[in-house]
Structures are given as structure tokens and as C-alpha cells.
Amino acid sequence: MRNARIVLMGLLMTGACGDDHHKHQPPYPDASPPPEIDGSTPPGIACAPDNGGIRLPAGFCATVFADGAGRARQIAVTPTGRVFVAIEPTSATAYDGHVLALFDADNDGVAEQRTTFGNVGGTGIAWQDGQLFVAANDRIVRFAMPDGTLSPPSATPEVAVIGLPATGDNPAKAIAIAGSAMFVNIGSASNACQLVNRQLRSPGKDPCPELATRAGVWRFDAKGKDQKECCSPRIATGMRDQNALAIDPGTGTLWAAINERDELHDDWPSQFTEAQDKRLPAEEVVAVTPGTNRGWPYCYYDNGAHQMKLAPEYGGDSVIQGRCASIAPPPAALAAHAAPLSMAFAAGTQFPVAFRSGAFIANHGSRFDATSGSELHGYDVEFLPFANGGPTGEIRVFATGFDAGLRPLPDAAPHRPVGLAMMPDGSLLISDDQGGRIWRVFFTGK
């Protein structure tokens, strides 16, 4: 009965701005937490002398788990430590996307076994109960993948979802699975639903027609075939682009880190200074429950004022709240333009206590930090501690150095973090779609 209520609420959602009153309640009864993992630092790990080019807190080190991976996006890991990475096509018209499969047989932090399969690649990937799900921009496929193997019995996958919108600013799809529920991010096609996208003083469309099919999270059946967006419930709306999706194993709650809008100063120079544009809007971290509405494109979050503000395309002037006053601030926020692309909840005991309750978030970095001296946003991995089912508000920088201090960004950066996944022992994998590197981070205490 409760599942039916969830579906009904998703189907009946409207585009009106509304507060999320269920932030920390586990709404999905079929989401079961994985078994507790007890890990220890392997005695023979091969940490790189320079941590493979990244900086970590004291007591941590990183191996180069794999290199030369191509456009490595999100990561899935099985209970036996088989690692699958979604490799994005090299261009929108290329057909060279695939899955990279890795296994560290001797557990030294470097994958000795490596293979590729399939001709479907993209951003999202997830493994559950012998099934590997891969999200291309326009569809989601499912390979039979028993744990303990690196290649599927059949190279031809089943199609789980077809016909997803894949044009415009945010075509990438992410996946989070809880039991029979498969949650999929469908990002917006534009920056702020303007009459002319990213143009000076172009007003917003009101109501925004994108909200019917984009800028939200949809729920599909993890076992279904050839499903379509039009016949599946929308769980959340008003979220510009949220590739960082993860389910808290302790509560069953789905969480998202949202890529918010850009160009407040570029498009509205009389209302926003360049300095304001560098810090606005903050990237929101929110619980995604039935009925969630974060207000895009009409609203954005001002972290300095701790308020939702009315966007300039809809009459805002950096002060007015207007229709956005009824939306509560998010429980946590990241720096403006950090571009979070993955989230992974901590698991196991390999890391110290301070990094065991909460979520790691990979920030791809702003594509607008183009000149020397510009303010850096993202290009790091952060840790967001959780307590009592929600963020504490404190954000800790965990891994940095991906940009190597080189400019102009993003082209000069040797690495840009994308994917995150916890290994069975509680160590952390980080992928990079610019340099094609995958790190495995351990705590050694040294």
C-alpha cells in the first residue's frame, strides 16, 4: 500500500515551489542496507610516492588502481571487489562508449585484471544482485553479471529504459538502485529555462515547459524492460541536474547533490556583480523524497543569506525571495559551480571513525574557471558528515590537487574527479574523466 502511495505522489506532482517536509525519513521500504563490512589495511598496498598526483589528509595514501581508462565516469563495485566503470563516448556522435572491468586479485591497490565489454557507455552505473546497469544519455541497459566475473555471459544487454531525453545542457544520466526501485536523474536542457538559453537578459519561460520531462528524478522498475519516462512516476522536480545520487544505507533515503545554474553576472550584469557570480548559487545537497521540489528554474540558493532567492529571469534582483520563500534551505550546500558528479556513502572500517558516517562527494569543477587568477571551484573530493539521518553541515575537503595548479581550467587540469565507490574493505575509489586515472585511497595511519 505504501509503495502505491509513493507512486501516486510522484505522478501527481506539480511544478509549484514547495518545501520538502520529509528530508530524513526513509521513504522506500524495499531499500535494505548492505551487510556491515569489517576491513583492515592490507599489508602489501602499493601506494604511489605522490599518491598518483593528488593530495590527501594525513594518514591516507592512494594507489593508482588503473590508468589510461579514457573518459572514466561513475563506478560500481560488487561484494567480492569486482569494479565496473562507465566509460563515456569521446563525443556526442561517437559510439566508443563501453564498460571497463577491473579486479585487484592480490589486494595491493592495483588492478591486475582488466577487460572491457559492451558498446554502451555514459555516466551512470550500478550493480545489484547479479545485474549491472549502465546509463547512456538516452537509455539504460542491464547486463547479467554474476559476482566473481568481469565479463557478462552475453555481450547483448537487455534494455531497461528507452527514449530518455538526451539534448541540451545536461544529457548525462545517473542511477541509484534500492531493491526494485531504480532512480534516474534527468537533467535540464538549459541553464535557467530562458527564451534563449544563456543569452543576455533573456527572460525565463513561465511556466517552464522542461519541468514536465526534465529537471527531476524518476523512478523505474529495476527488473523492467523497455520502460519509458512517460509511464513512470516522477519522484522529484525543480532540480537542475543531479548526477550525484546515492542511497544512505542506514536509512534508505535517496540523496542528491545538485549542479545549479550559472551565468548570473554574464546574463544579468545590472543585478549581479562578478564577485556574486563566483559564490552564487550554492550547489545544494538534499534528500530526494516523493514530492521534493527545489524550485529550479524559478529559484536558487544563496548560501550567504541562507535563503532561497528568486532568479533574475523571473523578476529577481539578488534580494527578492518572492515565490521561493516557501522553499526551505537545503540541509547542506557546496561551493558555487563545484559541479558534484558522484556521491558515495562511507562503509566499512578501513577509514578512521571521522570518515565513517557520511558521504563522499566528487566535484568535477567549474568549466568557467578559464583564466589565471580566477577563483577555483571544485576539482576535489569532499566529505559531508552525517548524524541522525542527515548532514551535520560541516564539509571536509578530502582529496585535492586534481588540477595541479595549472591554468587555464578546465583544459590544463591533468585530472577531473567524477566517480566514487567504496571497496569491500572500506577503501575508496575515485575516477577521473580527463586523465583516465582511477585511484584507490587507503588509511594507513602513517
Q: Residue 282 to residues 45, 84, 305, 306: CA-CA distances in angstroms?
A: 38, 31, 11, 10
Task: Compute the distance between CA of residue 419 and CA of residue 411 in angstroms, rounded to an integer.
Answer: 19
Q: Which residues pair with 204 in a beta bridge?
A: 194
DSSP state of 207: S
Residue with cell 588502481: 65
Give the three cell numbers for residue 381: 573530493
**Chain centre distance of CA 418:** 8
**Pair 277, 268: CB distance under 8 Å:** no
Q: Alpha-carbon distance 434 to 101, whole Å?
A: 19
256-293 burial: b if 16+ Cβ within 10 Å, else e: bbbbbbbbbbebbeeebeeebbbbbbbbbbbbbbbbbb
pTM of the model: 0.90
Res 446: pLDDT: 64
Taking only the tens place, the pLDDT of each residue in 293-315 is 999 999 999 999 999 999 999 99
Helix, strand, coil in percent for the chain, rounding step 5:
10, 30, 60
Cβ atoms within 10 Å of 445's Cβ, excluding its own: 9
Which residue positions in the chain have pLDDT lower than 50?
1-40, 372-373
What is the pLDDT at residue 376?
67
Per-domain residue ranges for the chain? 2-443
Residue whose C-alpha cell reads 578530502 in the numeric block: 398
Report the pLDDT value the prediction gives residue 371, as an integer from 0 to 100: 54
Tell me how far CA of residue 243 lies from CA of 259, 260, 317, in angstroms. Answer: 8, 11, 29
Report strand pairing: 254-257 vs 244-247.
antiparallel
Are the beta carbons of 180 and 227 closer than 8 angstroms?
no
Question: How confident is the model at residue 368, as a pLDDT?
Answer: 75
Please list the residues that pair with 360 across neighbouring strands: 344, 383
- Helix then strand count (H, E) for the chain reads 3, 28
Class assignment of domain 2-443?
Answer: mainly beta
Residue with cell 554474476: 146
Q: In the beta sheet, which residues pair with residue 334?
A: 283
Pairwise CA distance, residues 398 & 360, whole Å: 8
Q: Please tell me the predicted confidence (pLDDT) of residue 43.
A: 67
Tell me what pLDDT residue 76 has.
98
